[in-house]
Chains A and B, each alone.
Chain A
């Protein structure tokens, strides 16, 4: 390897800082609070929509569990829903 060749792997400093240099109290405050007050990127709303879809799925499945468990609903589950043969005979 000649002197001009760049290193094959990025050089990692022996003791990197906990906070990157060049920051002041004001810059730290501005940067972190910009996430709260700034405009959110599109991916945030996309992610939120997917997560909200998950919440709706949870709501549906919990409703189904409760309704089946107490025998309100006619969900077509293995254990619940339509009343079992034995109870229909009664």
Chain B
């Protein structure tokens, strides 16, 4: 899911460079004959590093995690070409003690790298805004607020995709009520952190005494896009509150509906941060409204299509649930210590 989301996300800054075929030349720091380097103070460059690091570590983590399962698929494949492809991808996996030892070390290392990366990537992405001077962007709460928002939206998206797949492929034995309960709890906690972020934004705008900051909040509450801000509060704050109840956390339909609210809410959050802050900045002479064109809509829905197409392909070609991890949960995997 992360990889496909990164593939979609990279399209936007890439095409906003104007000449995407030159983007690598402009954005990546490499020694060249003209001695030219990108401007490291530009948030666009920070984005390049954040997205490329996140993409490459996620790719490695995903692929390494798949290796034992690719070996299983190779052994189960009946078609020669399937055997060859899965065999090549599994890199000669035999499941020997030595292979497991190396595998577990590599996986642990990548897990250790990926965990702080979640914090750093979203913090860097938030700096893209926080280092700007636009009222509504220039705020120190953005890094933790973006990290919590990413976990919140990530869990919502996992629920959005996992619940229909669980039902349609009959995977209820592997994605159990326990998983739904735990995912709902994480969504509730991160949702509360995000709600705290909204509250602090409002408080800071008042407490700062800065007329521009105060106006940002006034514009959100009373401006022409106010219905989007109220919808955001409904989707990201109110809609998750039923998760306090155990009965809701054990109802797949209710959780799925809540996750859809969160998906919409997180998109609205981006709209509130970007166009709503830009459409009324310091100079009233530059104030304007943003009206999306048909091309804006088609790019947006097109990236959703790309994400879903990649997901469908993934489900068809690779195991949707880690087989070897599930095997470790079976009773036969519990090794009993011999009595001494």
Interface size on B, residues (CB 8 A): 54
Q: Which 10 A-B pairs have the closest CB atoms?
A: A54-B305, A58-B302, A20-B173, A51-B308, A51-B309, A61-B298, A19-B329, A57-B302, A16-B177, A16-B178
Query: Cβ of A51 and Cβ of B305 under 8 Å apart?
Result: yes
A17-45 contacts to B (CB < 8 Å): 17-20, 23-25, 28-29, 31-33, 35-37, 40-41, 43-44
Secondary structure call for the B interface: helix
Query: Cβ of A29 and Cβ of B323 under 8 Å apart?
Result: yes
Query: Cβ of B317 and Cβ of A18 under 8 Å apart?
Result: no
Choose among B170, B173, B177 the residue with the greatest number of A CB atoms under 10 Å from its CB: B173
Query: Cβ of A23 and Cβ of B318 under 8 Å apart?
Result: no
List, sorted by A's number, 8 A–B pairs whose CB atoms are closer than 8 Å: A20-B173, A20-B176, A29-B327, A32-B319, A37-B78, A51-B308, A58-B11, A58-B302
Chain A interface size, under 10 / 10 to 19 / 20 to 34 / 35 or more: 35 or more
Which residue numbers of A lie inside 8 Å of B, CB to CB?
9, 12, 15-20, 23-25, 28-29, 31-33, 35-37, 40-41, 43-44, 47-48, 50-62, 64-66, 69-70, 77-78
Neighbour of B327 across the interface among A28, A47, A52, A62, CB < 8 A: A28
Question: Contacts of B78 on A, CB cut-off 8 Å?
Answer: 37
The minimal Cβ–Cβ distance linking B89 to chain A, given in whole angstroms, is 13
The minimal Cβ–Cβ distance linking A13 to chain B, given in whole angstroms, is 8
Question: Contacts of B295 on A, CB cut-off 8 Å?
Answer: 61, 64-65, 77
Query: Cβ of B327 and Cβ of A25 under 8 Å apart?
Result: yes
Other than the given A36-B317, A56-B305, 9 more pairs (CB < 8 A) read A19-B330, A20-B174, A28-B327, A29-B76, A35-B319, A40-B316, A57-B301, A60-B302, A65-B15
* Cβ-closest chain B residue relative to A40: B316
Query: Cβ of B247 and Cβ of A12 under 8 Å apart?
Result: yes
Which residue numbers of B lie inside 8 Å of A, CB to CB?
11, 15, 18-20, 72-73, 76-78, 168-174, 176-179, 181, 246-247, 250, 293, 295, 298-299, 301-306, 308-309, 311-313, 315-321, 323, 326-327, 329-330, 332-333
Query: Cβ of A58 and Cβ of B306 under 8 Å apart?
Result: yes
Rounded to whole angstroms, the CA-CA distance of A51 and B306 in the bound complex is 7
The minimal Cβ–Cβ distance linking B281 to chain A, given in whole angstroms, is 21
Query: Cβ of B329 and Cβ of A58 under 8 Å apart?
Result: no
Query: Cβ of A53 and Cβ of B316 under 8 Å apart?
Result: no
With A18-B176, A57-B305: A32-B323 Cβ-Cβ less than 8 Å: yes
Query: Cβ of B312 and Cβ of A51 under 8 Å apart?
Result: yes
Question: Contacts of A20 on B, CB cut-off 8 Å?
Answer: 172-174, 176
Rounded to whole angstroms, the CA-CA distance of A15 and B266 in the bound complex is 32
Secondary structure call for the A interface: helix
The minimal Cβ–Cβ distance linking A77 to chain B, given in whole angstroms, is 7
The minimal Cβ–Cβ distance linking A88 to chain B, given in whole angstroms, is 22
Query: Cβ of A19 and Cβ of B174 under 8 Å apart?
Result: yes
Question: Contacts of B72 on A, CB cut-off 8 Å?
Answer: 29, 33
Rounded to whole angstroms, the CA-CA distance of A53 and B169 in the bound complex is 24
* Cβ-closest chain B residue relative to A25: B327
Question: Contacts of A55 on B, CB cut-off 8 Å?
Answer: 302, 305-306, 309
Rounded to whole angstroms, the CA-CA distance of A29 and B73 in the bound complex is 9
Question: Contacts of B169 on A, CB cut-off 8 Å?
Answer: 35
Rounded to whole angstroms, the CA-CA distance of A75 and B72 in the bound complex is 51
Query: Cβ of B309 and Cβ of A37 under 8 Å apart?
Result: no
